[in-house]
């Protein structure tokens, strides 16, 4: 037999959904993918970067993400990397919030339309 969900739990689920909506409304930029910071060797054979890891050039910021069904990669400036880092964090937050919203919705559906015994 299905468990009856209390009115207090239903109210709590609705409040969590309202809080999720409010949080989503405060988010500005979103981007999926990963951001890497790299120090690199140049192509000059006599440059110190070839033998001394501390003399490598950079940092260079590389952003990778899916575009369609392919991985897109590009280098970005330090300022773009700063904005992208926040946008990627926002994207991950949105995904977490949506998963929670889905769980709360399932709880409310079960409360409003209990499954057959």
**Other CB atoms within 10 A of residue 75 CB:** 11
Distance CA 105, CA 20 (A): 12
Going by pLDDT thresholds of 50, 70 and 90, the confidence category of residue 4 is: low
Domains of the chain, residue spans? 7-112
Going by pLDDT thresholds of 50, 70 and 90, the confidence category of residue 116 is: confident
Q: What is the pLDDT of residue 112?
A: 79
Prediction pTM value: 0.81
pLDDT of 113 above 80? no
| Mean pLDDT, rounded, of the chain | 92
pLDDT of 1 above 60? no
Dump pLDDT digits (tens) for 56-112: 999 999 999 999 999 999 999 999 999 999 999 999 999 999 999 999 999 899 887
* DSSP, residue by residue, 1-31: -PPPPPHHHHHHHHHHHHHHHHHHHT-----
pLDDT of 53 above 60? yes
Residue 47 DSSP symbol:
S
Distance CA 67, CA 83 (A): 19
């Amino acid at each position: 037999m299905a468990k009856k969900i209390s009115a207090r739990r239903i109210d709590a689920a609705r409040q969590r959904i309202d809080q999720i909506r409010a949080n989503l409304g405060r988010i500005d930029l979103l981007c999926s993918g990963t951001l890497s910071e790299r120090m690199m060797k140049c192509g000059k054979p006599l440059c110190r970067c070839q033998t001394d890891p501390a003399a490598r050039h950079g940092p260079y910021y590389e952003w990778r993400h899916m575009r369609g069904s392919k991985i897109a990669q590009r280098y970005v400036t330090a300022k773009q990397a700063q904005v992208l880092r926040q946008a990627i964090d926002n994207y991950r937050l949105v995904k977490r919030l949506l998963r929670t919203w889905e769980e709360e919705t399932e709880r409310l559906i079960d409360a409003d339309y209990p499954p057959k015994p």
